[in-house]
Structure 1
């Protein structure tokens, strides 16, 4: 079964807009778990514009599901991850000035760098995942780094889905199958929502995990958080 990890960055964005602690990020994370989320994802950035590094430290002792920390594995990220020891570290090559993650790793060019990072994370018992575009050469490169999983960057799938779902999903299916053949687990994330999620999961039924934040939090404004998480879980279970 494909697991749902809820990215709570947007909850922190709302909190930070007014200062204080409303909404309470820790309480929302616990409620997400209570409502059926099978994991919590955070992506702290150097400017702390949403999730703060202290949030990550505060979340670790209270969460009961899988904890996934995304980020560019520079010094501050690595120090945090090695201190917290989440279940999974998802390595994302985002620059400091980007609004949101907008590209996967070039796993050929950065193979030696990623291999060293992943080796260090694995020494501490942390599962690793590399954020990649749906390009077969990048999957092959990822397999050579020693990573446990890849996370397919699904923005292009989401953009093309309404025009031609089969064409949109085709490169993702090819790459997911290749990853599985190479012994890698497969995650997916970015712009997945209630419209496109089920079709992706049907075409790649062995997906290990999807990480969803922006669309899920937006849907929660209309449907409520508990109902929204159940709706997303339903897309993955049918």
Structure 2
């Protein structure tokens, strides 16, 4: 049996949870006209200047927001920010692996790809991978990413029993799908839902996985999630971030979300 390629080694180590800004909704607004505004690259640059540790995109096959040119232009921009990370999300059975291969061929940076089990016409991500059903299909694609020194994170529901299987298939990290937490945040169910994420994070850490999180996190619920769920290395935030940026601007919004993370690490 062929052994999986060794996991990539990265030098980007942050003292707190990293903030990766998803700029998809900037592209969605731009695509509503033919004027090339607002600029996706300028949005990313302003967020990076304000302290964001990464940029995330999810280029869907229908190009309804991020387009292929955006991916390559953002990757070129990231060359000027060697201490930050570029993360591409998507379904590896659709267009994601093409970007992984093409970026490597062009010598452009890609630090992480997040495998998401979306259908081509799906409105937004709404569930994680299933194990053992998806294991056989995912393993060779994870290996391809590792061959190009790209970290792989699997989009997962907070199911503790699935964490060891995610590690066994070769994943480096899992990204917890956090919409259930966001829906429960202002309700009496919040404590129970948070406990579910905590148990899943503990299982992920025990399996040797890094932990990311994303989907409907915002400036109200972010600090509590990072404080209560152990070991979150990165949060990827797009919709709420861009909504806030329409009122506050990119730089101020970046600082607000970074402050939320700082609050999570402050002594009680």
TM normalised by structure 2 equals 0.86
Contact 2:60 2:95 in 1 (8 A): no
How far off is 1:205 after superposition? Answer: 4.0
How far off is 1:100 after superposition? Answer: 0.6
1:112 aligns with 2:136: yes
Regions of 4+ moved over 2 Å: none
Give unmatched runs, 5+ long, in structure 2: 1-15, 105-109, 264-268
How far off is 1:2 after superposition? Answer: 0.2
Give unmatched runs, 5+ long, in structure 1: none
1:155 aligns with 2:170: no
Contact 2:17 2:232 in 1 (8 A): yes
Q: Which residue of 2 aligns with 1:76?
A: 95
1:218 aligns with 2:233: no
Mark the CA change 1:188 to 1:146 in structure 2 (over 3 Å): closer, same or farther.
Answer: same
TM normalised by structure 1 equals 0.97
Contact 1:2 1:205 in 2 (8 A): no
How far off is 1:32 after superposition? Answer: 1.0
Aligned pair count reads 238
Aligned with 2:232: secondary structure? coil
Contact 2:160 2:201 in 1 (8 A): no
1:21 aligns with 2:36: yes
Mark the CA change 1:126 to 1:53 in structure 2 (over 3 Å): closer, same or farther.
Answer: same
Q: Distance in 1 between matches of 2:184 and 2:132?
A: 27
Q: Distance in 2 between matches of 1:11 and 1:70?
A: 16
Render the CA deviation track for 1:78-131: whole Å, top value 9, x for unaligned. 111122141000000000111111110113101111111111110110000000
Kindly report which structure 2 residues correspond to 1:24-103, keeping only aligned pairs within 5 A, or say none.
Answer: 24-63=39-78, 64=81, 65-74=84-93, 76-85=95-104, 86-103=110-127
Q: Distance in 1 between matches of 2:250 and 2:42?
A: 12
Aligned with 2:153: secondary structure? strand
Aligned with 2:88: secondary structure? strand
Kindly report which structure 2 residues correspond to 1:176-215, keeping only aligned pairs within 5 A, or say none.
Answer: 176-215=201-240
Q: Distance in 2 between matches of 1:75 and 1:124?
A: 19
- Which moved further from structure 2: 104-113 or 151-160? 104-113
Coordinate RMSD, CA, aligned: 1.1
Q: Distance in 2 between matches of 1:5 and 1:205?
A: 18
Contact 2:116 2:155 in 1 (8 A): yes
Q: Distance in 1 between matches of 2:39 and 2:252?
A: 19
Aligned with 2:128: secondary structure? coil
Q: Distance in 1 between matches of 2:219 and 2:102?
A: 35
